[in-house]
Amino acid sequence: MVRQTAALGVGLTLLVGLVFRALWGPGAMVAGMVFGGLATVLQVWASALAAPKLSAGDYSGLLKRWGLGSLIRLLGVVAIPVAVVLDRARFEPVPTALGYVAVLLPLFFLEIRRFR
pTM of the prediction?
0.90
Specify whether the CB–CB gap between 82 and 34 falls below 8 A. no
What does each C-alpha distance from 41 to 6, 22, 56, 58 come to in angstroms? Answer: 8, 25, 24, 25
Domain residues for the domain of 79 are: 2-114
Q: C-alpha angle 16/36/53, rounded to 5°?
A: 130
User: How many structural domains are present in the chain?
Assistant: 1
Q: Average pLDDT of 11-27?
A: 96
Q: What is the pLDDT of residues 40-81, one digit of tens each?
A: 999 999 988 887 766 666 677 778 888 898 999 999 999 999
